Amino acid sequence: MTSTGAIRVLVVDDHTLFRRGLIALLAGDPRFAIVGEAGDASEAHRSAATTQPDVILLDIHMPGVNGVEALAGFAEVSPTARVLMLTVSEDERDLAAALRAGARGYLLKTMDSDMLAAAILRTMAGESVVSPEMTSKLVSAFQSRQSEAPAMPVQVDADPIHSLSPREREILACIARGASNKEMARELSIAEATVKIHVQHILRKLNLSSRVQAAVYLTGRPG
């Protein structure tokens, strides 16, 4: 973040008009500071190495190296940056590929500005975010991966879901639906801080690193 607490954002999209419009939109919000822009992966990697952004908004379908392929490079040059895919693609294969490659979220360009801002803030708070329209496709993404390989990386031995308390199972089900911490707190009539603690416990018990992995874990279980 900047000295004023603004979140440092790098915008990567090969469509100049969309990229400039997004930059203008975020630049008008004091919570964000645009530190760079790029139209392709090579330029984006150089910018990320120089600016060390907090969040990278990354398109998937770009000429040359696409967004998913570019993720490994960002992990090398700017390892603390959270990468959010911002795309028009509703293809479950793109969703699965992006999450497996390390993206912290998958957002559609059709979302409104308030939802985008909220997604960035949730990512900075340690959450993984997926556009509501894509949440149900996590199941299909998991099934597609199962047909390609024996196991998803998020699977663990001996099904530790049995170690979760009844409340933690409720929280896990909410995560699989794409609910935010605030929504879960309201639905379950508990404090948002309590939800955060439950989420941390769930991830630890299931040996997972993100809410997206937790959602894939639950939706991919038999029965």
pTM: 0.65
What whole-number distance in Å separates Cα of residue 54 and Cα of residue 123?
10
| CATH among 3.40.1160.10, 3.40.50.300, 3.20.20.450, 3.40.50.2300 for 7-131 | 3.40.50.2300
Q: Where are the domains of the chain?
A: 7-131, 140-219
pLDDT tens-place string over residues 149-207? 444 444 434 567 777 888 888 898 898 888 888 899 899 888 888 888 888 888 888 88
Please give the class, per CATH, of domain 140-219: mainly alpha
Strands (E), the chain: 7-12, 32-38, 55-58, 82-87, 105-108, 129-130
